[in-house]
Amino acid sequence: MGYLEQYKKWIESSYFDTETKAELASIKNNEKEIEDRFYKDLEFGTGGMRGVIGAGTNRINRYVVRKAAQGLANFLIRQRETPLSIAIAYDSRHKSREFAEESARVLARNGIKSYLFDDLRPTPELSFAVRHLRCNAGIVITASHNPKEYNGYKVYGEDGGQLPLELSNAVLEEVNAIQDITTIQVMDFDMAVKQGLITIIGADVDDAYMSAMKALVVNRVDQHVIDNCRIIFTPIHGAGNKPVRRILKETGFNCVTVVPEQELPDPNFSTVKYPNPEERAVFELAIAMAKQQDVELIIGTDPDCDRVGIVVRDERGEYVTLTGNQTGCLLLDYVLNGLHEQGKLPPNGFVMKTIVTTELARKIAEAYKVKLVEVLTGFKFIGEQILLRDERGSEKFIFGFEESYGYLAGTYARDKDAVVASMLIAEMFAWYKSRGMTLYEGVVELYQRYGYEREGLDSFTLKGKEGLETIQKAMDVLREQKADLFDNIGIHAVRDYQSGLRTVIKTGKEEAIRLPESNVLYYETEKGFWFCVRPSGTEPKIKIYYGVTASSEQESQNALEQLKSKVLSRIKPLLA
Cα–Cα distance for residue pair 501/512, rounded to 1 Å: 5
Cα–Cα distance for residue pair 361/341, rounded to 1 Å: 19
- Give which of 214, 217, 259 is closest to 240, Cα–Cα: 259
Q: What angle do CA 154, 160, 164 make, to 5 degrees?
A: 60
- Give which of 362, 489, 511, 337 is closest to 428, Cα–Cα: 337
DSSP letters along 490-558, please? -EEEEEETTTTEEEETTT--EEE--S---S-EEEEETTS-EEEEEE-SSSSEEEEEEEEEESSHHHHHH
- Give which of 199, 42, 68, 127 is closest to 76, Cα–Cα: 68
Catalytic option among 144, 404, 422, 518: 144
Residue 500 · residue 510 · CB < 8 Å: no
Residue 281 · residue 293 · CB < 8 Å: no
Residue 395, SS3? coil
Q: Where are the alpha helices (DSSP H) in 150-268?
A: 165-176, 189-194, 203-214, 223-226, 241-250
Residue 125, SS3? helix
Mode of pairing for the β-strands spanning 319-321 and 521-525: unpaired
Mode of pairing for the β-strands spanning 396-402 and 349-354: parallel
- How does 226-239 read in b/e, with b if 16+ C-beta sit within 10 Å? beebbbbbbbbbbb
In Å, how far from its chain's centre is CA 343? Answer: 32
**Residue 144 falls in the annotated catalytic set:** yes
Cα–Cα distance for residue pair 181/56, rounded to 1 Å: 11
- Give which of 369, 399, 395, 404 is closest to 382, Cα–Cα: 399
Residue 85 · residue 114 · CB < 8 Å: yes
Cα–Cα distance for residue pair 105/226, rounded to 1 Å: 47
Query: Dihedral of the CA atoms 116, 118, 122, 126 (nearest 10)?
Result: -20
Write the CB contacts of 259 (distance below 8 Å, at least 6 apart in sequence): 232, 233, 234, 285, 286, 289
Write the CB contacts of 216 (distance below 8 Å, at least 6 apart in sequence): 409, 410, 412, 420, 423, 424
Q: What is the 3-state secondary structure (H, E, C) of 40-73?
A: CCCCCECCEEEEEECCCCCCECHHHHHHHHHHHH
Cα–Cα distance for residue pair 534/518, rounded to 1 Å: 9
For 202, half-sphere exposure in the C-beta direction (CA atoms, 13 angstrom radius) is 6
Strand-pair partners of 198? 114
For 576, half-sphere exposure in the C-beta direction (CA atoms, 13 angstrom radius) is 7
Q: Which positions are catalytic? A: 144
